[in-house]
Structure 1
Amino acid sequence: MGVFSSCCIIDDDEFFSISSKIILKQVDFSDNILYYTGGQEALDGLVGLLVENVALPTIIFLDLNMPKRDGWSFLKEFEEFPEEKIKHIQIYIVSSFISPDLIEKAKDYKLVKDYIVKPLTESAINRIISSQKST
């Protein structure tokens, strides 16, 4: 049984998503891994879960640079979801951009737990698991 009941990857990079899923499964991170290729698709899918009264994923790995609706736009709209439905969620930004400005901007969003530089590694995943166990 995974540490988290469900998690979500929002990224338009198929290679990143596949490799991340493999690592997440290897460390038994989550029982259910959702995958969306963009911010708008993710918002639509997550709203669908809410309509069906299905709990949203506990962990979201979010890319910033995506076409149509980027990660920032996703965050802005996602934080408008009902508080009781999202307060348990931790968002980890995963980006190939290493920028102090972006890392600071991420801190403006209450659900963003950390900023991870791609690729998503087993070490980074284990830090997330450890932080969960210590809370």
Structure 2
Amino acid sequence: MGNFNTCCIVDDDDFFVFNTKRIMKDTGFCDNIISYGNGQEAIDGLIGLLVENIPLPEIIILDLNMPKKNGWEFLEEFVKIPESKIQNCDIYVASSFISPENIAKSKKYEVVKDYVLKPISDDSLDLILSSRRVF
């Protein structure tokens, strides 16, 4: 059994998604991994889970630059979901570069737990594991 039941990757880069899934599986980070190619697919898919009475993933790895609905637009929609439905879900913004502006902006969202650099590595997953809220 993994550290988490379900994780979600929201990113339009298929190579990043493939490698992140591989690392998550190899390290036993989580039992189930779902992915979406953009923010619109992700918000639709996550709301679909809630409609089916399925809990949201505990961890969401969120890219900022995507077509249709970017990471910021996703966050604006996500925070409209009732607190009782998202309280066990932490979002980690994933980016290829350190942007002080993006880091500062991401801290404005209570659901964003941290900002991690791409590519995701064992160390990144350790950081996520160690920073995860205790419920």
Aligned: 1:86 with 2:86: yes
Question: What SS does the corresponding residue of 1:108 show, helix, strand or coil?
Answer: coil
One-letter amino acid of the counterpart of residue 51, structure 1: V
Q: TM-score, normalised by structure 2?
A: 0.96
Unpaired runs of at least 5, structure 2: none
Give the whole-Å Cα distance in 1 for the aligned partners of 2:107 and 2:17: 24
Give the whole-Å Cα distance in 1 for the aligned partners of 2:131 and 2:47: 28
Instruction: Provide the residue aligned with 1:60 in structure 2.
Output: 60
Q: Moved runs in structure 1, 4+ residues, more than 6 A? A: none
Question: What SS does the corresponding residue of 2:20 show, helix, strand or coil?
Answer: helix
One-letter amino acid of the counterpart of residue 91, structure 1: I
Cα deviation digits, residues 77-130 of structure 1 (max 9, x gap): 100001100011110000113210110000000000100111111101012223
Instruction: Provide the residue aligned with 1:76 in structure 2.
Output: 76
Over the aligned positions, Cα root-mean-square deviation in angstroms equals 1.1
Give the whole-Å Cα distance in 2 for the aligned partners of 1:101 and 1:17: 25
After superposition, where does 1:1-20 map in structure 2 within 5 Å? 1-20=1-20
Give the whole-Å Cα distance in 2 for the aligned partners of 1:69 and 1:19: 23
Give the whole-Å Cα distance in 2 for the aligned partners of 1:96 and 1:12: 13
Q: Relative to structure 2, which stretch is displaced further, 91-100 or 34-43?
A: 91-100
Instruction: Provide the residue aligned with 1:125 in structure 2.
Output: 125
Q: TM-score, normalised by structure 1?
A: 0.96
Give the whole-Å Cα distance in 1 for the aligned partners of 2:56 and 2:103: 25
Alignment coverage as a number of residue pairs? 134
Give the whole-Å Cα distance in 2 for the aligned partners of 1:126 and 1:80: 29
Instruction: Provide the residue aligned with 1:95 in structure 2.
Output: 95
Instruction: Provide the residue aligned with 1:115 in structure 2.
Output: 115
Question: What SS does the corresponding residue of 1:54 show, helix, strand or coil?
Answer: coil
Aligned: 1:37 with 2:30: no
